[in-house]
Structure 1
Amino acid sequence: MMGESLYVPKDDDLNCSNIDTLMKKYYLPVAYGIIFIVGVVGNIIAITIYVAKMRPWKSSSIIMLNLAIADLLYVLTLPIFVSYYGNSDSWTLGEFMCKFVRFAFHLNLYGSILLLTCLSIFRYIVVVHPLRAAKVQNKTWGMLACFIVWFILAMEIIPMLPMFRVIEKNETFTCLDFASNDPATIWWYGWLLTVLGYLVPLVIVSMCYISIVRVLASGPHMQSAYRVRARRITVVILLVFILCFLPYHILRTLRVDSQQRKVGCLYMKNIHAAYIISRPMAGMNTFFNLGLYTLAGDQFQQAFLSLFHCRRCFSHPKSSVNMAVIENTASSCR
């Protein structure tokens, strides 16, 4: 039923969008190329550490592992986009691959949002309700949280699949993204994704952050290493929500709205250009995620160094180590 009402852009829409050809040809390949290089190397190392070194697993380790897998799946599709936008901007890989790469982006986007929200909730419990910390750190809770996340994620984004398709115009094939479909079809679905998939998790993360700050601002153990790490993790997660995810959701809504209403060509060009910029920004959450793995605790840092044969850098693996000492010691291992 949804496939029967799929949208083919009008000639005026396509002509108006042609002003963004240079941006798509030069900005997107460079941005996606950088994300690919950093993301592949960083996430393969992170997955290796979590699988081979981080035992026994805690709930946070399982969440982080799922986050790294989601990031790796996404960045592995980026060379396709680099080739697509950098060469002729004509899709040659068929409709299945079009659906796959577009789906992978949204899988990473909303999967990261949900997994980071779970991580914030777990950190909130550890800091604000320390008596429950031992229970929530059990790997069973992490496995349950990830199962719920992937189930909710499937319900959120599977309806997108019929919207990703290849269209032909003037002997050029285009792999449509979500916001380039018929605005009448995707308007309410887009708003539903924005509210339930982004705004609700943002509110939850913000509430966790506020509660953690209040606890850390008072009490006899406000300088404990574990609580300081919890604060840093929550701040980084909040930055990801604001810097990476917020611009994309705002500009995606404006992009759809600009196709639904009668607007001037200049307005449509500006909105489309800004929307193009926001897409790699949303994918750059993988940079912040790599930082989260290090902030999660000294065990990851020790496991990283041991992976590169620097075991001697830590004589007491389970001790709490000052960050400056870690950096100096790591430098001596090179």
Structure 2
Amino acid sequence: MSNIYYGPSNSSIDNCTDVDDLMKRYYLPVFYGAIFIVGVVGNITALLVYIIKVRPWKSSTIIMVNLVITDLLFMISLPFLTYYYSQNDSWTLGITMCRFTRFIFHFNLYGSILFLTCLAIFRYVAIVHPMHAHSIKKKRWGTLACILGWTVAVAEISPIFNQIEMKVQDNKTYCLDLASNNPEFMWPYSWVLTVLGYLVPLVVVCLCYWRIMKELKQGPHKESRKRVRARRLIVLILTCFIVCFFPFHALRAWRIYTKLTPETNCMLDRWAHAAYIISRPIAAVNIIINLPLYTLSGDCFKQAFMEMFRFDRLMSKTKEIVEVAVISKHTTKITHDESS
């Protein structure tokens, strides 16, 4: 096995289990392939529903559409990553595509975080400050928020293009992930990404939803459909932040730290790398968790989806058949009783 992913003190050690190499070869292709299939089908369907059926568009609709586009951009890179890892780390597409695939992974991650944060802020204003609810729903605020989100995400991730490297060893070309590149640069840069790209949005989201939950507990109709939907939206977004994004940021920091410290035990080094590998598809699972968000966003997506695929007609016809069957059965029973 090549030891290109480890520090100089570990480069000559061959007595450690290659657990991280096995994870890359078998775990990453399977998970990335599954995410690609579900993500492409789900997000293309969502985009078609938004473009064709959802009317009128509100600020939340624009945020959701941009979230879909961000996820679809990530879908472009997944076949390349799946093939790369299935071929045991053999990259053949050049440095530009290498940097693009690494860039788009992190852009999807931090773009999703920013768009979910925007959604939380807009929801906070609509529920906690109802006097401004009509204004915040206007399309211009959604457009402005998304322009700002794209700009900040690109600014956060742009250094990757200069830092991601390809390395050749044992006649094989490697496209190194962010945490496997120059640790002297990646250590402070990863903390900038963690603080500005994840922790600050997490605090904003938690504060917004804490105030929203307090507001939803007050007044009558606590179990109304609108309030239940709002609670489910909160749970889903917080799950995405904690389950998908937290392990990735914590394990990336651990991975870079072990690479930065030459005295790290070789097994600890490999397990840190393996844990980081596990966290990457988990971070990408936010693409699948985003799919239920569309039905909870409050912009009639569920109704539009049902109408577009004619589920409403199917349901009405099924209801009619059931009613006819029940009436027929009831009539037959009455006739039988009368004849008796």
TM-score, with normalisation over the residues of structure 1? 0.88
Q: Judge conservation of contact 1:63–1:142 (CA < 8 Å) in 2.
A: yes
Aligned to 1:192: 192
Closer/same/farther in 2, CA of residues 10 and 169 from structure 1, 3 Å limit:
farther
Q: Deviations over 1:76-122 (max 9, x none)?
A: 21111111111232111111110111111011000000000000111
Aligned partners of 2:302 and 2:200: how far apart in 1?
32
One-letter amino acid of the counterpart of residue 285, structure 1: N
Distance 2:144 2:175 in 1: 36
Give distance in 2, aligned partners of 1:87 and 1:22: 12
Alpha carbons of 1:127 and 1:13: their partners in 2 closer, same or farther (altered >3 Å)?
Answer: farther
Q: Distance in 1 between matches of 2:197 and 2:35?
A: 23
Shift in CA distance, 112/17, structure 1 to aligned 2, threshold 3 Å: farther
Q: CA deviation at 1:308?
A: 1.3
One-letter amino acid of the structure 2 residue matched with residue 78 of structure 1: L
- My pick for the range that moved more, 232-241 or 296-305, is 296-305
SS of 1:263's equivalent in the other structure is coil
Aligned to 1:291: 292
Within-5 A mapping of 1:1-334: 10=8, 12-13=10-11, 18-261=18-261, 262-297=263-298, 299-312=300-313
The answer to whether the 8 A contact 2:17-2:267 is kept is no
- Write the distance in 1 (CA, Å) between the matches of 2:42 and 2:269: 37
SS in 2 for 1:167: strand
For the residues of structure 2 that align with 1:157 and 1:81, how far apart are their CA atoms? 19
Contact 2:24 2:85 in 1 (8 A): yes
Alpha-carbon offset, residue 298 of structure 1 = 7.1
Contact 1:245 1:282 in 2 (8 A): yes
SS of residue matched to 1:212: helix
Instruction: Return the offset for 1:166.
Output: 1.1
Over alpha carbons, which structure has the higher Rg?
2
| Structure 2 CA distance for aligned equivalents of residues 313 and 150 of structure 1 | 40
Question: How large is the RMSD of aligned CA atoms in angstroms?
Answer: 2.1
Q: Are the counterparts in 2 of residues 8 and 167 from structure 1 also a CA contact under 8 Å?
A: no
Q: Residue type of the partner of 2:288?
A: F
8 Å Cα contact 1:17-1:272 kept in structure 2: no
Distance 2:127 2:313 in 1: 32
Q: Could you list the runs of 5+ residues in structure 2 that have no partner in the other structure? A: 323-340
1:9 and 1:257, CA in 2 relative to 1: closer, same or farther beyond 3 A?
A: closer
Displacement over 6 Å in runs of 4+? none
The CA distance in 2 between the partners of 1:17 and 1:198, in whole Å, is: 33
Shift of 1:183: 1.1
TM-score, with structure 2 as normaliser: 0.87
Q: Percent identity?
A: 52
Which letter maps to 1:288? I
Aligned length: 312
Q: Map Cα deviations across residues 3-33 of structure 1 (whole Å, 9 max, x no partner).
A: xxxx996483486694422111110011001
- Preserved contact between residue 43 and residue 71 of structure 1 (Cα < 8 Å): yes
Cα deviation, 1:150-171, whole Å, max 9, x if unaligned, reads 1111211111111122110111
User: What amino acid maps onto 2:10 in structure 1?
Assistant: D
CA distance in 2, matches of 1:13, 1:117: 42
* 1: CA distance, partners of 2:219 / 2:258: 51
Q: For 2:248, give the aligned amino acid.
A: Y
Deviations 1:109-138 (A, max 9, x none): 000000000001111111111121111111
Mapped to 2, the partners of 1:25 and 1:161 lie a distance apart of 25
For 1:310 and 1:137, the matched residues in 2 are separated by: 28
The answer to whether the Cα contact below 8 Å between 2:6 and 2:259 also exists between their aligned partners in 1 is no
Q: Which moved more, 1:163-172 or 1:196-205?
A: 163-172
User: Do the aligned partners of 2:24 and 2:88 also contact (CA within 8 Å) in 1?
Assistant: no
Q: Between 153-162 and 297-306, report the one with greater CA deviation.
A: 297-306
Question: How far apart, in 1, do the equivalents of 2:58 and 2:167 lie?
Answer: 47
C-alpha distance in structure 2 between counterparts of 1:209 and 1:251, whole Å = 26
**Contact conserved, 1:126 with 1:133, CA < 8 A, in 2?**
yes
> Structure 2 vs 1, CA of residues 279 and 242 (structure 1 numbering), >3 Å: closer, same or farther?
same
